[in-house]
Structure 1
Amino acid sequence: MGYVIDGFTRMSQERSLYIEKGKIRYTGSHLDRLSKVRLNYSGFTIAEGKVTLCDSSHFKSSQAMSEIQIKEYLKKGCTTLIVPVPVFYERQVDDRLTQQRKRLAQTPLDYLIAVRMPLKKITERLIRRLKKEGITLLCLRAKSVQEMQEIPWQRIAEAMFPKRMMIVIEPTVSYNDKKARKDIYQAWDHVAKVYRLNTFFPLPNVLSPLPGILLKRLGLYPQKGRLQIGSDADYLMFHDSEKTRLTPDVIVCSGKIIKAGNKWHLYSRKGKELSNLIPEKFLSIRDVYTYSD
């Protein structure tokens, strides 16, 4: 059943949303004639749910995410997780992905599973295997520029065709060694442009919202991290009397209320894996070679 949210504030303007089957079907200020159940949220400010990188320390055990961990993300406004899975050898891929999917089975948050592994382990066969698993994001840990130059990038690019998986380089050198990190990123920028690879660097920190260009490169735009027609109904509501409050008063994921006031409804929905996306689908021509925010 669809419903209309009336009277809330967004971008300093009073707006309305029409939500049906967990999706935003219309957003604007002229929904008076729509004969649907109406919810008056005057006195509230609405914001889109955030897409954020997950803290890998939450998955060191074989247990599922705890309620405390789930609430920690939700209180920060996160409604979608990017979850990197550490893999050191290709033969580990199936088991590691299966384990991670089991850990995330009971969370109300939607999630995108990424694979994180050493750069030197990347092969064409691995790329094809990850594509078969529906993996959109591959994080490669790079030790040096020389290591990067030894990779047959042309064959890697061919293996990704036609849907171009996103590859992110993560330097493993010390954060204090700024020159080495800069050299690695500059070398990667060159590789990405020469072989027309889909990338972004550096990745945002844990709990920091992903910028729009990164959402587009991953294929999550406009489904996640936005409040516009076609987006999932993931939104946060803050009472205007508590403008400095960081924790949302209301949290909704795909149209289902997860938090209302002090009451939690963590099991009102099961999150889904976001796989088999189409990276760069809405990427504009001017952003083709834009690899940072």
Structure 2
Amino acid sequence: MGYIIENANILKETKLTKSSLLIKGNQIVAKQNHIRHNKFMKMNADSFIMTPSYVLLDTKIPLNTSFQEFRKYMIENFLLKGCTTFITSISISYESELEDKIKETKTRLINSSIDFLICVTIPLRMLTPSFIRKCKKVRVPAIFIEIVDLDELSKIPWGWIREALFPYNCPLVPIISNELKKEARRAMSKWKVIMENGKIPSILEELTENQPISIKVLNKLGLYPQKASLLHGSEVSYNLFLKAREILNVDEVGLFHYHSDRLVVTVNKGKVVRAGEEVLFKPGFGEYVRVRTPSYFAL
């Protein structure tokens, strides 16, 4: 049996709009200004700010720890923050270890209560057509590239890289090494020029860990609008914040960082996982998300 969420104040990045949502199971089957159905139970959400649940990047998840420590980490770093999907990345040193390391990480995350994606992090020297083909085979959603030497960027055969990425086109994501932090602006400028001139599928800035990933980036990863969305056809994963005058003009990132005390409900794939201070950790409810096609949705 479905239900209707009426008068939802939906915050999407910086824009606040009012809509009503018809929910059936784990899917939003209608989104309109008003939904007139008398046979469905109705919930008035006017006293809340509603956001899609967040997707966070976290490359430091403790994989070699006890179940209790893992559970504590998941609750504190994801569920209490309104996150129902996370992205992590594993370091790869040799092509031959790619598939085994991904399988090992999936196994270690078997008790995850929220969905997850596994990306890979490599040194620039490993960015070859051969390695990219292996990443395409196992549907790696993104390849993080450690940049240590700016001059090395110019030595990569970017035409071959673009051809190897096609047609799957998983994006390349820059990581500026500690040695280059003082030159971060110049490094990102060079990265952007090379990516845009070479028409390389890529993210043009470093991704910040532990804060909501933007819709633009999620789309490039092939996650949007399946995740972090309250559109027709999306899964039912959302947060409810107690509405107050001081948060009516706050964007999603500001809400996440500075008003977490107002987060009172989190729903994950149609199930309430947080109500007030009560958090439900359900081992194994999370699934490994296999991306089909990055950037398939036109923003």
TM-score range relative to shorter protein: 0.7 to 0.9
The correspondence for 2:224, drawn from 218, 221, 224, is: 221
C-alpha deviation, 1:115, in angstroms: 0.4
Aligned partner of residue 42 in structure 2, secondary structure: strand
Counterpart position of 1:291 = none
| CA deviations over 1:70-105 (Å, ceiling 9, x no partner) | 112122222211111111111221221112111222
> Cα–Cα, structure 1 residues 176 and 215, in superposed 2: closer, same or farther, change >3 Å?
closer
1:188 is the counterpart of 2:191:
yes
Paired residues in the alignment total: 281
Is the counterpart of residue 265 in structure 1 residue 280 in structure 2? Answer: yes
- What is the match of residue 287 of structure 1? none
1:210 aligned onto 2:213: yes
Aligned to 2:174: 169
TM-score (norm 1): 0.86
Matching residue within 221, 235, 252 for 2:238? 235
Q: Aligned residue for 2:147?
A: 142
Q: What is aligned with 1:94?
A: 99
Change in CA separation of 1:147 and 1:256 when aligned onto 2, cut-off 3 Å: same
CA shift, 1:41, in A, is: 3.7
Aligned twin of 2:252: none
In 1, Cα distance between equivalents of 2:55 and 2:93: 26
Given candidates 249, 260, 269, the residue that maps to 1:246 is: 260
Q: 1:239-263 CA distances to partner (integer Å, 9 max, x unpaired)?
A: 3379685142111111111111232
User: In the alignment, what sits opposite 1:275?
Assistant: 290
Whole-Å Cα distance in 2 between the matches of residues 183 and 241 of structure 1? Answer: 42
In structure 2, the gaps of 5 or more residues are 248-257
CA contact (8 A) 2:170 2:220 kept: no
Q: Is 1:200 aligned to residue 214 of structure 2?
A: no
- Tell me how far 1:62 sits from its aligned partner: 6.2
User: What amino acid maps onto 2:113 in structure 1?
Assistant: P
Q: 1:9-28 residue pairs with structure 2 within 5 A?
A: 9-10=9-10, 14-28=18-32
Q: Does 1:127 align with 2:141?
A: no
Q: 1:32 aligns with which of 12, 31, 36?
A: 36
Q: Is the 8 A contact 1:78 1:207 kept in 2?
A: no
Between the aligned residues of both structures, percent identity stands at 25
Offset of residue 170 of structure 1: 1.2
The CA deviation at 1:143 is 1.1
Could you give the per-residue CA deviations for residues 112-160 of structure 1, whole angstroms, max 9, x where no partner exists? 2110111101221211111111112000101112212222222221111
Per-residue CA deviation, residues 222-281 of structure 1 (Å, 9 max, x unaligned), is: 111221112221101123379685142111111111111232222187112222331122
Cα distance in 2 for residues equivalent to 1:124 and 1:188: 19
The amino acid of 1:2's aligned partner reads G
How far apart are 1:49 and its partner, in Å? 0.8
Residue 108 (structure 2) aligned to one of 95, 103, 111:
103
Amino acid at match of 2:169: R
Paired position in structure 2 for 1:49: 53
Matched, 1:113 2:81: no
* Structure 1 position 194, deviation (Å): 2.8
